Structure 1
C-alpha cells in the first residue's frame, strides 16, 4: 500500500483529498490540530487513515510526525505529500494588523516549507530508502496569480508559495521529486463560513469599511456557489498519479471567464473590480 501525507485534513479540500485517496487504496497520514478531529476521521475512514497531530508552524511537532511516518514506512519511500493547510484573514492592506499579516505568511508559506523540509527525505531525497521518488503537491489558489482587494496578505502568501514551488521543482530534479501546484478558484468549503464571521468592524472608521463589507458579501456568495471540494481532490489525485503531470493545475468553476479576465489589460480589470466594490476615488470623503 502506497502512503501519502496530507496536511489540514479536518475539513474542506484536505478532508476531500483524504477521502478520495483512501477510497483509491492509499494509506493517508493526515494532519489535524485537535485530537477530536483525529478520532472522528479515524472512525469515518478506517485503518487507511493515520492521524498526525501538528500545526504546520510548529517545527518540532512536524519533525516528530515525520519520524512517526518514517517508522510506519519501514524503509520505503513516501508516495506523495499534499500541502493543503492554509488560512485567509480579509483586511485592507493599509490597516491590517501586522500580527494578522504574519499569521498568513507563517501558515500559508513558512509552514509549507517546514513540512516539506521534514518530509522530503522520505519522498526520496534520502537515497537509502527503497522505492521511486514521490511527488509534492502544493495547494495554492487563484490568488497565487491575482490579487483581490482585502485579500492582500493571502495573495502575498500564495504568490510566494507559487514562486517557492517553482524554485523547489527545479532544485528537486536532483532527487527526481516533482513539485506540482494545484490552484483552486472559488470552492465551497468551510473557509467561507469563517469569512462570513470575519471581524471587519475594526475598520469601521476607515475609508475601506463600506467597500470591505461589499467585497465580503461577494466573496462569501462566490465561495458558497463554488465548486465542491471533491473537484479539487480529484485534481490533486491526478497531480499525484499522472504519468506526465502539468506543473500547475488551475481549478475554476468558469474557466472561460477566467481566461477572458486574464486576457484583459490589468488597468481595465482594476477599474471593473473598483466599481464592483465601491473603491472609486470620488467615493472618498474629503
Structure 2
C-alpha cells in the first residue's frame, strides 16, 4: 500500500498509544484525522503536528458525533483516499468483579467495545466497505492488548472488553472479505501511557471489608511498576504503521517488552498453574 496522499483516522489520540501512532504516521507522510474529546487537546495536537493533523471532536460513545466526524473526514479528504481506521480509544476499569458497580462495568464495555462498533460503522464506508469498487481498499486496525488473551484478577471489565474485541475483529475480518477491507489486531503489552499511571487511582478503600483489599493494593503497585518499564507509545505506533502498510499483514501483532515470556506463559503453563502463580503473587492464595 502506498502512503502518498493517504489519510488515516485514529480514535483517542490525546495521549498514549493514539498520540504515539499519530506521531509515527505523520512522520511517515500520512495525514491523520485524530479524535479527542476536548478542544484544548485538539488545539495542542494541531500545534504539535501542524497541517498533517486534523482534529475530530467526539466521544466514541456518542453515535451522532462520530457520524458527524465521518462526514467531516469525507468532506476534507479532497482526493485522498482513507487508508485506515485505527480503533484505539479506550479506558481501563479495575476492581473485584463481585463488588464492582454495574455502571462502571457498562462504561467499560460501552467505550472499549461498543465504541469500536460505532466508529467502524461510521468510517468503514470510506475505506471501501460498501462495495465502491476501490482497487486499494483501506484497513481497520483494532487496538487490543495482551489482556485480550489472558485474564487477570481485578481487571475483568478490561479483559472482557479486549477478549470481545478479539472476537469482533475476527468476525468482522471475514464479513468484509467481499470488499477486501482487512481487519488487523495490534495487541500491546505494557506501554508507558497514562492508562497505566491511573493505576494509582485504584482505591482499595471500598473493599476494605473484603478479602480483596490487600491483593488490590498489590495489583496497583504492580501496574505502576510495569507502566514505568513499559514500551514508549511510538513503538506501538510502528506496529500500527506495519499493520496498515505491509503487503501481506499478519492478522495479529503482539508488541510487548517481554513477548517471549507472554508466549511461554500462554503455551507452556496450564491455566491451573497460572491460577496458582497469580494467586500467590497477589495474595489471593497462601504463600504470596
Q: With the length of structure 1 as denominator, give the TM-score of the two structures.
A: 0.96
5+ residue gaps, structure 1: none
8 Å Cα contact 1:76-1:131 kept in structure 2: no
Query: How much does 1:130 deviate?
Result: 5.4
Structure 1 residue 131: Cα displacement: 5.6
Q: SS where residue 80 of structure 1 aligns? A: strand
Specify the alignment match of 2:19 in structure 1: 15
- Give the aligned partner of residue 167 of structure 1: 171
Report if aligned partners of 1:57, 1:110 keep a CA contact under 8 Å in 2.
Answer: yes
2: CA distance, partners of 1:229 / 1:20: 10
Would the alpha carbon gap of residues 44 and 75 (structure 1) be closer, same or farther in structure 2, given more than 3 Å must change?
Answer: closer
Given that residues 4 and 26 in structure 1 are in contact (C-alpha distance below 8 angstroms), is that contact kept between their aligned partners in structure 2? Answer: yes
| Residues 170/48 of structure 1: CA separation in 2 closer, same or farther (3 Å cut) | same
Classify 1:61/1:86 alpha carbon distance in 2 versus 1 (closer, same or farther; 3 Å). Answer: same
Q: Which residue of 2 aligns with 1:269?
A: 274
Correspondent of 2:212 among 179, 184, 208: 208
2:77 aligned with 1:67: no
Give, in whole Å, the separation in 1 of the partners of 2:280 and 2:65.
46
Equivalence for 1:146: 150
Q: What are the Cα deviations for residues 44-70 of structure 1, in whole angstroms up to 9, with x where unaligned?
A: 100010000000000000000000001
State how far apart, in whole Å, the 2-side matches of 1:18 and 1:279 are: 40
Q: Give 1:193's aligned residue.
A: 197
In 1, Cα distance between equivalents of 2:180 and 2:79: 18
Kept in 2: contact 1:188–1:223 (CA 8 A):
yes
- Three-state SS of the structure 1 residue aligned to 2:177 is helix
- Matched residue, 2:239: 235
Distance 2:165 2:67 in 1: 21
Q: Secondary structure at the match of 2:247?
A: coil
- Which residue number in structure 1 is paired with residue 185 of structure 2? 181
Q: Is the 8 A contact 1:6 1:29 kept in 2?
A: yes
CA contact (8 A) 2:6 2:80 kept: no
Deviations 1:200-250 (A, max 9, x none): 221112111111111111111112111111111100000000000000001
2:59, 2:135 → 1: CA distance? Answer: 29
The ranges of structure 1 where at least 4 consecutive aligned residues each deviate by more than 6 angstroms after the TM superposition are: none
Q: Is the 8 A contact 1:82 1:137 kept in 2?
A: yes
Distance of aligned partners of 1:13 and 1:60 in 2 relative to their CA distance in 1, 3 Å threshold: same
Secondary structure of residue in 2 paired with 1:218: helix
Within the candidate set 79, 104, 109, 2:83 is matched to 79
**2:280 and 2:287 in contact (8 A); partners too:** no
Structure 1: how far apart are the matches of 2:29 and 2:68? Answer: 25
Equivalent-residue separation in structure 2 for 1:232 and 1:265 (angstroms): 29
- Measure, in 2, the Cα distance between the counterparts of 1:276 and 1:242: 40
With structure 2 as the length reference, what TM-score do the two structures score?
A: 0.95
Q: CA deviation at 1:129?
A: 7.2
Query: Aligned pair in 2 of structure 1 residues 24, 282: CA closer, same or farther (>3 Å)?
Result: closer
* Structure 2 CA distance for partners of 1:45 and 1:89, relative to 1, 3 Å: same
RMSD value over aligned CA atoms? 1.4
